[in-house]
Amino acid sequence: MNIISSLIRREFQEHKVAFIWLPWSACCILIIFLLIAISSGSGKIFISGQSVSGPDQHSYSYETEGSSLGTALILRALGSLDSLSTVDKAQTFYQFHHIPRVLFQFIFIAIACYYLTNTLYDERADRSIFFWKSMPVSDWQSIQSKLICALLIVPAICFCCMVIFHLVFLTVISSLGIFHSIPVSRLWQNLQLVSGWSHTIISFLFSIIWMLPLYGWLILVSSWTTRSPMLISVLVPGITVLFESMVFQSHHLLDWMRQHLNSSAIMAIPKTGGNENTLTLLSQPALYEGILTGVLFIVAACWFRRKINDR
């Protein structure tokens, strides 16, 4: 276990930009875009309604003129929250969790794919593989540490970035509502942050399992190719799909690849019925086919790393 921990620390030292700075930079950029969107444009919106968030119900009205359009839209949304139907309200709060989840999940997948495609190739390119082979570290331990970094630690960092973005966004819109005397208690009551964040964790875990063939294939390519691992990782499946189409007049491999790269399939929590959707995914044979394929790719990558020296 100490060896794995040391290898993970080594990976972080060598890839600090991709693992740490890139997710946090993306979070900061999204926050800056949020503030720009709130402060840009100008608008005039009149809001009237009744607060039903407690025993001391009261009516309110608000008019904004000459302020930013983004601020006006947020105030209108806060003011009309109580008048929404149950379905519309559920849809609104689902989007609040869903959009940042998709953004940061895409960031995680991009970082993981880039890292796994180049990690073993770079060891041979800079000849550091000879140093690590002289150490009491097995090839499986090296690959295991890389998979832990790419598929567990990086998504954990992206999840933390998403939580920070959520909290900043909520703080901003709540401050606007309080400043303009619009009740925001109903907003916090309906958000269900802990539930939404737990669904995000499940979504991240399912994306890792569902796309394991991709991650296994990328690290396999990185273990044996002598040049351009990114190009090879795309070219080999492309040629195979083309060969199947021309010779067998079928597209089974293409369909299988599309299935495991389908973003709607890996988003484990839909608008409604998250538990049912999770059980549905667990019952799909394609899930276990993907796990088996991904494990075989990883085992093959370990074998190539042990057998192939620098070329």
Q: If the chain, 311 residues long, is cut into consecutive pieces of 10 residues, what is the mean pLDDT of each piece?
A: 82 85 89 78 45 40 48 60 62 73 88 90 76 73 90 92 88 73 66 80 86 92 87 90 87 84 55 53 79 94 76 46
Question: What are the tens digits of pLDDT across the range 204-245?
Answer: 888 888 889 999 999 999 988 888 888 998 999 999 889 888
How many residues make up the chain in this entry?
311
Domain boundaries, the chain: 2-40+86-307
- DSSP lists the bridge partners of residue 49 as 60
Burial class from Cβ neighbours inside 10 Å (0-12, 13-18, 19+) for residue 4 reads: middle
Q: Which structure tokens are listed for 157?
A: 């960092």
Alpha-carbon radius of gyration of the chain: 24
* Amino acid letter for position 141: Q
* 165/200 Cα distance (integer angstroms): 14
Question: What are the tens digits of pLDDT across the range 293-305?
Answer: 999 999 999 988 8
